[in-house]
A and B are shown apart, each in its own frame.
Chain A
Amino acid sequence: MSHETLSTILFLVFVALTLAITFWASRNTKSAADFYAGGRSFSGLQNGLAIGGDYMSAASFLGIAGIIALSGYDGFLYSIGFLVAWLVALLLVAELMRNSGKYTMADVLAFRMSPRPVRTAAGVSTIVVSIFYLLAQMVGAGALVGLLLGVHSQAGKVWTIIAVGLLMIIYVVFGGMKGTTWVQIVKAVMLMVGAALITLLVLGKFGFNLSGLLGDAATQSGKGDAFLNAGLKYGTAAQGTWGKIDLISLGLALVLGTAGLPHVLIRFYTVPTARDARKSVLWGIGIIGVFYLLTLVLGFGAAALVGSKTIAAADKAGNTAAPLLAQKVGQDIFGDVGGTVLLAVIAAVAFATILAVVAGLTLASSSSFAHDLYAHVFKRGAATERQEVVVARVAAFVIGAIAIALSIFAQSLNVAFLVSLAFAVAASGNLPAILYSLFWKRFNTAGAVSAIYGGLISAVVLVIFSPVVSGSPTAMRPEMDFHLIPLSNPGIFSIPIGFLCGYLGTILSKEYNASKYAEIEVRSLTGLGAERATGH
């Protein structure tokens, strides 16, 4: 049996299992709290796994292993930003958000503000960030399936995108948060087991001598010791000082973006108390941290055992480094059958990864559409719970359909930059609004609206006029050149702009409500009046 057939079978098993979970979850998803927050009945460990499942996208699994395999150390730099970011979520956001919010990020922002403008801004930002992220994931899925299943026809890629999109719509529409969370838990366990297995086999081949592995990786990469240091991908010698500033800009967006990503924030509502939210982030940090240490070994292992040339020949971005490595160690240790089986397993895990992440993003954006835009902006808070859930389900379908259409349109473009743009927008618009809401007494409607739009617009505009959109061979539109800024990552400018807009908007407006601030401060720190879990 070929690895393509075996991958397909394993993947179908995953799909069957997750669909079964989804239909089970749909029977227990009746109220709004069920749909948006899984009834708030997940344990800290379960939600911690789901946090890992939501966060460890194909971009971080295949992408980081691929960057390490081709450019060495720089991939590791990327993963460190992704991990340290969780401390912002743990120390400043998770528990306070669980205590003062209900279903969406906007619940916290609108708490003491005029609800319509703030919810509109938060809803727009949530949907924009989620769609950017979704597009990058779905276009990536089309390319990945081509590589892993040997489907190279245009029609094959289009059908893959459609299939991924339909599955994510089914998970969200029927399963809501409960179904989506379980899909993410299953995926996180599969991903950790798969990555740990390959890592052990790789380390075993080097007699658990990390230095030996690194030495072979440096030699096989053809780049020598430079492979073990920063600078082959980000801030290269050729890019000069701007390249290095770009690296710092990326680092800032990664470390500050996570705690402003809507699909990350809504995970804190799925547990019964703030203390469980804390536990779930602790589990999440453990799982994500160990995972990135595993990808370090996978990336350098792929360079050492498969060789950077072979990896670059299979895919320019190195996305197949981890699957190729699985095949190689499987072959070396267990023979041809072993290689086929391991490759198939890792390929199936990669599909599962994509599905779980896109489902989380669709849920976040449809929840925000229904709860923020429909119920509070259009209906001015007069919608019933039942109406809200119906609208959320319809929104999941529509957003999913839009994402499919945009992905098919964008599949020939290089849209990988959309993931770092999503982090930059989250760090520049959402994070300032959240932190000011929770900690700054004076903060008000004008401040919240200015922070969100200021951060969102500055990040997007800076990227439009950057080398990732035009004026470079790897740009989205390489044939055009209207770039004005030498930075690919807007964070170093847009994050201060977002914070500054929030500050200026606040002090230029007279609105101030001391008693509402007392309420959010007391609620967020004590859990008084916090939403309870719904019993089933």
Chain B
Amino acid sequence: MTVQHDPSVYERIQAGEQFQELRRRYRSWAFPMTIAFLVWYLLYVVLSGFARDFMGTKLFGNINVALVFGVLQFVSTFLIAWAYSRHAAAKLDPIADELRGATESRDEVGEGAK
């Protein structure tokens, strides 16, 4: 069911420029974004604990900062998820497909696989 590749195949791909670019594009997007949304979320939790007067400020009607801040966490989650799917489809998937395609077609002629 699964094609077993010679370990050296992976090392060769890993060392290649294309893979390094894929890795850079993935990490340089996912890592800073993870830190950003965690900080944004923790800011919200810390303010909920320690800045209740500020969170209780009414903005309009009975809608206060706490509620708006909470709903913004939903909005940011949806937006980040959407942005990631766009980034992945445009910047990551094509390289991953190419790398996989190149190796798998070699498999068919019996070069890369054992």
A248–B46 touching, CB < 8 Å: yes
Q: How far is the CB of B88 from chain A (nearest CB, A)?
A: 6
Q: Compute how far the CA of A462 lies from the CA of B81 in the bound complex, rounded to whole angstroms.
A: 34
Q: Compute how far the CA of A285 lies from the CA of B77 in the bound complex, rounded to whole angstroms.
A: 8
In-complex Cβ contact of A529 among B4, B48, B60, B66 (8 A)? B4
B109 within 8 A of A: no
Q: Compute how far the CA of A278 lies from the CA of B100 in the bound complex, rounded to whole angstroms.
A: 18
Q: Compute how far the CA of A422 lies from the CA of B56 in the bound complex, rounded to whole angstroms.
A: 32
Q: How far is the CB of B13 from chain A (nearest CB, A)?
A: 5
A395 within 8 A of B: no
B91 within 8 A of A: no
B49–A73 touching, CB < 8 Å: no
Q: Which residue of A lies closest to B99 (CB)?
A: A526
A214–B63 touching, CB < 8 Å: yes
A528–B104 touching, CB < 8 Å: yes
In-complex Cβ contact of B70 among A76, A90, A532 (8 A)? A76
Q: Compute how far the CA of A211 lies from the CA of B58 in the bound complex, rounded to whole angstroms.
A: 11
Q: Which of A173-213 contact B (CB under 8 A)?
A: 210-212
A522–B77 touching, CB < 8 Å: no
Flag B58-93 by CB within 8 Å of A: 1 or 0 each: 101111101100110110011011101100100011
B48–A247 touching, CB < 8 Å: yes
A123 within 8 A of B: no
A91–B30 touching, CB < 8 Å: yes
Q: Which of B27-71 contact A (CB under 8 A)?
A: 30, 33-34, 37-38, 41-42, 44-46, 48-50, 52, 55-56, 58, 60-64, 66-67, 70-71
> In the complex, what residues of A have CB within 8 A of residue B71's CB?
293
Known: A251-B42, A285-B78. A526 touches B62 (CB 8 A): no
Q: Which of A507-534 contact B (CB under 8 A)?
A: 514-516, 518-519, 521-523, 525-532, 534
In-complex Cβ contact of A286 among B45, B61, B78 (8 A)? B78
Q: How far is the CB of A218 from chain B (nearest CB, A)?
A: 7
Known: A229-B52, A229-B66, A529-B3. A282 touches B81 (CB 8 A): yes
A80–B10 touching, CB < 8 Å: no
A84 within 8 A of B: yes
Q: How far is the CB of B28 from chain A (nearest CB, A)?
A: 12
Q: Compute how far the CA of A282 lies from the CA of B79 in the bound complex, rounded to whole angstroms.
A: 11
In-complex Cβ contact of A86 among B61, B63, B77, B85 (8 A)? B77
In-complex Cβ contact of A531 among B1, B5, B42, B99 (8 A)? B1
Q: Which residue of A lies closest to B72 (CB)?
A: A80
Q: Which of A31-48 contact B (CB under 8 A)?
A: 33
B11–A515 touching, CB < 8 Å: yes
Q: Which residue of B lies closest to A102 (CB)?
A: B2
> In the complex, what residues of A have CB within 8 A of residue B41's CB?
80-81, 84, 251, 255
> In the complex, what residues of B have CB within 8 A of residue A523's CB?
10
B19–A526 touching, CB < 8 Å: yes
Q: Which residue of B lies closest to A33 (CB)?
A: B1
A518–B11 touching, CB < 8 Å: yes
Flag A235-275 by CB within 8 Å of B: 1 or 0 each: 10000000011011001100100000000000000000001
A228 within 8 A of B: yes
A490 within 8 A of B: no
Q: Compute how far the CA of A218 lies from the CA of B26 in the bound complex, rounded to whole angstroms.
A: 46
B55–A229 touching, CB < 8 Å: yes
A87 within 8 A of B: yes
B80–A228 touching, CB < 8 Å: no
A315 within 8 A of B: no
B88–A528 touching, CB < 8 Å: no
Q: How far is the CB of B3 from chain A (nearest CB, A)?
A: 6
A235–B26 touching, CB < 8 Å: no
> In the complex, what residues of B have CB within 8 A of residue A83's CB?
73-74, 77
Q: Compute how far the CA of A252 lies from the CA of B39 in the bound complex, rounded to whole angstroms.
A: 11
> In the complex, what residues of A have CB within 8 A of residue B38's CB?
255
In-complex Cβ contact of A521 among B14, B37, B88, B104 (8 A)? B14
Q: Which residue of A lies closest to B93 (CB)?
A: A275
Q: Compute how far the CA of A528 lies from the CA of B7 in the bound complex, rounded to whole angstroms.
A: 12
B60–A211 touching, CB < 8 Å: yes
In-complex Cβ contact of B100 among A229, A292, A521, A527 (8 A)? A527
B49–A247 touching, CB < 8 Å: yes
B77–A289 touching, CB < 8 Å: yes
A115 within 8 A of B: no
In-complex Cβ contact of B37 among A87, A230, A285 (8 A)? A87
> In the complex, what residues of A have CB within 8 A of residue B66's CB?
73, 228-230
Q: Most A CB atoms within 10 A — which of B13, B42, B64, B77?
A: B77
Q: Compute how far the CA of A289 lies from the CA of B100 in the bound complex, rounded to whole angstroms.
A: 34
> In the complex, what residues of A have CB within 8 A of residue B61's CB?
211-212, 214-215
B48–A519 touching, CB < 8 Å: no
Q: How far is the CB of B72 from chain A (nearest CB, A)?
A: 10
B62–A215 touching, CB < 8 Å: yes
A92 within 8 A of B: yes
Known: A80-B73, A229-B52, A251-B41. A526 touches B80 (CB 8 A): no
A88 within 8 A of B: yes
A77 within 8 A of B: yes
A505 within 8 A of B: no
Q: How far is the CB of A499 from chain B (nearest CB, A)?
A: 14
> In the complex, what residues of A have CB within 8 A of residue B85's CB?
278-279, 282
In-complex Cβ contact of B48 among A77, A90, A289 (8 A)? A77
Q: Compute how far the CA of A245 lies from the CA of B49 in the bound complex, rounded to whole angstroms.
A: 8
Q: Compute how far the CA of A59 lies from the CA of B66 in the bound complex, rounded to whole angstroms.
A: 23
B10–A522 touching, CB < 8 Å: yes
A229–B49 touching, CB < 8 Å: no
Q: How far is the CB of B21 from chain A (nearest CB, A)?
A: 11
In-complex Cβ contact of B22 among A86, A518, A526 (8 A)? A526
- Other than the given A229-B56, A247-B45, 7 more pairs (CB < 8 A) read A88-B34, A230-B49, A234-B49, A255-B41, A293-B71, A518-B14, A528-B10
Interface pairs (12), CB distance under 8 Å: A80-B74, A87-B80, A87-B81, A211-B63, A218-B62, A230-B48, A235-B49, A244-B50, A278-B85, A292-B74, A518-B14, A526-B96
